[in-house]
Amino acid sequence: MTDTTSYFGKKELYAVILLAVISFFLFADQNLMAPNLTQIGNEFGFTPDERDVKLGGNISLVFWVLGGLVTLGIGYLTDLISRKTLFVIVIILGEIPCVLTGFARTYEELFWLRAATGIAIGGALPLTYSFIGDYFSHKNRAAAAGYIGLAQGLGVALGQLLAGAIGQAHGWRLPFIIVGIPNFLLILLFALTVKEPKRGITEESLSELIQEGKVYFARINWKYYRELFKIKTNIMVFLQGIPGTVPWGVFFIYLNDFYHIEKGYTVLDATNIVMAVGAGAILGGFIGGLIGNKVYNANPRYLPLLCGSTTLLGIIPMAVLLNFPPYQQTGTVMLPILIGFFTGFIVTITGPNVKAILLNVNTPETRGSIFSLFNLTDDLGKGFGPVIISLLIVAFGRQIAFNIANLFWLLCGILLLVMMATFPKDEARLRKILAERAKEIT
C-alpha cells in the first residue's frame, strides 16, 4: 500500500498495526450489552418496553452523543498538539469506565459508565484518521481505512460473540472487564515505542520538502474550521452520516434479542445471526477499501458512485432478514445467517471509502477536526437512531419499527450519489492549496 509519496517504513507499519490492535479492543466494547439485553433488564426489574427504551435507547443515546460532543474538542486539539499524547489520554479515560461497567450496581451507574466509555471511541476516531492521513498518500487511503475498519469490525463482532457466549453462564458483567484490560497494556506500549508522523509528509507537493527538513507550518484555527463547512463534499458526508447509521441500531442493539424473543431462536443462534452481519461487515469494509482504491485510481468520481449504489442495494437483503419467518416455521438458522452476512458485506463497502473521501478533500491541519465533525454526525445517528426506533417500537411494535429504520439507507444512498459532482472539484481545490503552501515553505 505504498507509493513514492508515502513516507512509510517498518516503524510506520508497526505504528499502524498497533493502532489497529488498540482499535480492536476499543470497539469490542461497543455492543457488549446487546446479546444480554433481556438479562440486564431483568436484573434491574424492567418491563420489555422499559428494557428497549432504557437499555436499547437511552444508554445508546448518551454513549454515542456524549462521545460525539467530546470528540469535537479532541478533534480540534488533534490539529494543534501532539496526537500521540492526546491518543494515550483518550484511551485511558475511556477504558477505565469500560472496566468499571462490570461492577455497576444500579441502572444509574450503568448509564453514566457507558456514557463515559463513549468518550474513548469518539475521541480516538479523529486521532486515528489524522495518523492515517500522514502515513498514506491519497492513492492508498481507502485501503488503509479498510485495514483500520477491519480491526474495528473484528472488535465489534468478537466482543459481541464473547458477550453472547459467556453472558448466560457467567453474567453480563464479565465481558466488559475482559475487553477493557488489554488496552491499558497496549497504550503503554504505544506511548513508549511509536513515533508520531510529520504532518503533510504524504502529500505530493509537500513530501520531498518535509523529508528534506522543511516544516509544514499550517495549524487549525477558527478561520480554517469555518471553511470546513464551505466544502460541499464535507456537507454531503455529514448529511448522509445521520440516516446512514440509524439502521445499524437495529442490528447491534435489537436484532439479537428480536430473533430470540420474537422469532424463537436460541440466544446463541440469534447471536450467530448478528455475528454473521458483523462478519459480512468486516469483510465488506476491508474489501470495500481495496475496491475503492482501484476505483478511485481509475476515476475519482467512481468512488462516491460505489458508495451510493452499494448502500441502496443493501436495503433489499436487510428487508428480507427483518421479515424472515420464525424458527418454528422454517427450522433453519443457516439461511438468516447467509442473508445477514450478505447484508453486512454490501452496506459496509461505503465506510472506508467515505473516510478516504474526507481525507482527500481536507488539508492536513484540519483532518482531526473534520473527523470529529464526521464522528459527531455519525454518533448522532447511532445515538438518536435507537431512541427513534424504541419510540417506534412502542407505537407500532418491533417488526414495523425495524422496517422503517431500514428505509433510512435510501436517503443515505442518494446523498452519496450527489458527491459524484462535488468530490472531484473539492479534491482539485485541495491540491491547489497544498501546491501554494509548498511554495511558501520553499
In this predicted model, which residue has the larger pLDDT, 383 or 196?
196
Decide if domain 10-197+224-441 falls under CATH 1.20.1250.20: yes
Q: What is the pLDDT of residue 8?
A: 53
Place of cell 452523543: 65
Q: What is the pLDDT of residue 44?
A: 82
In this predicted model, which residue has the larger pLDDT, 307 or 102?
307
Q: Which of 170-179, 218-227, 261-270, 313-322 has the highest mean predicted lDDT (pLDDT)?
A: 313-322
Cell of 243: 440516516
Q: What is the pLDDT of residue 379?
A: 72
> In this model, does residue 59 exceed pLDDT 90?
no
Q: What is the pLDDT of residue 137?
A: 81
> In this model, does residue 248 exceed pLDDT 60?
yes
pLDDT per residue as tens digits for the range 396-409: 888 898 999 999 99
**Confidence band of 355 (pLDDT split at 50, 70, 90):** very high
| CA distance to 16, 17, 31, 52, 401, per residue, from 132 (Å) | 8, 11, 25, 37, 38
Torsional class of 45: left (φ above 0), alpha (ψ -120 to 50), beta (otherwise): left
Q: What is the pLDDT of residue 115?
A: 85
Q: What is the pLDDT of residue 9?
A: 64
In the predicted model, what is the mean pLDDT of the chain? 86
363 close to 224: Cβ distance less than 8 angstroms: yes
**Confidence band of 2 (pLDDT split at 50, 70, 90):** very low
* DSSP state, residue 65: H
pLDDT per residue as tens digits for the range 177-190: 999 999 999 999 99
pTM metric for this prediction = 0.79
pLDDT per residue as tens digits for the range 279-305: 898 899 899 999 999 999 999 999 999
Q: What is the pLDDT of residue 88?
A: 94
> In this model, does residue 168 exceed pLDDT 90?
no
| CA atoms of 359 and 295, how far apart (whole Å) | 16
Q: What is the pLDDT of residue 419?
A: 97
In this predicted model, which residue has the larger pLDDT, 117 or 387?
117
pLDDT per residue as tens digits for the range 63-90: 777 777 778 888 888 888 888 999 999 9
Q: What is the pLDDT of residue 15?
A: 85
Q: Is 136 helix (H, G, I), strand (E, B) or coil?
A: coil
**Confidence band of 393 (pLDDT split at 50, 70, 90):** confident
Cell of 162: 464473547
The alpha helices in 198-266, defined as continuous H runs, are 207-211, 222-227, 232-249, 256-261
- Residue 46: what residue type? F
Q: What is the pLDDT of residue 5?
A: 46
pLDDT mean over 354-370: 92
**Confidence band of 236 (pLDDT split at 50, 70, 90):** very high
Q: What is the pLDDT of residue 428?
A: 93
**Confidence band of 57 (pLDDT split at 50, 70, 90):** low
- Residue 15: what residue type? A
373 close to 75: Cβ distance less than 8 angstroms: yes
Q: What is the pLDDT of residue 334?
A: 94
What are the sequence ranges of the domains in the chain?
10-197+224-441
Query: Would you give the distance in Å from CA 348 to the centre of its chain?
Result: 10
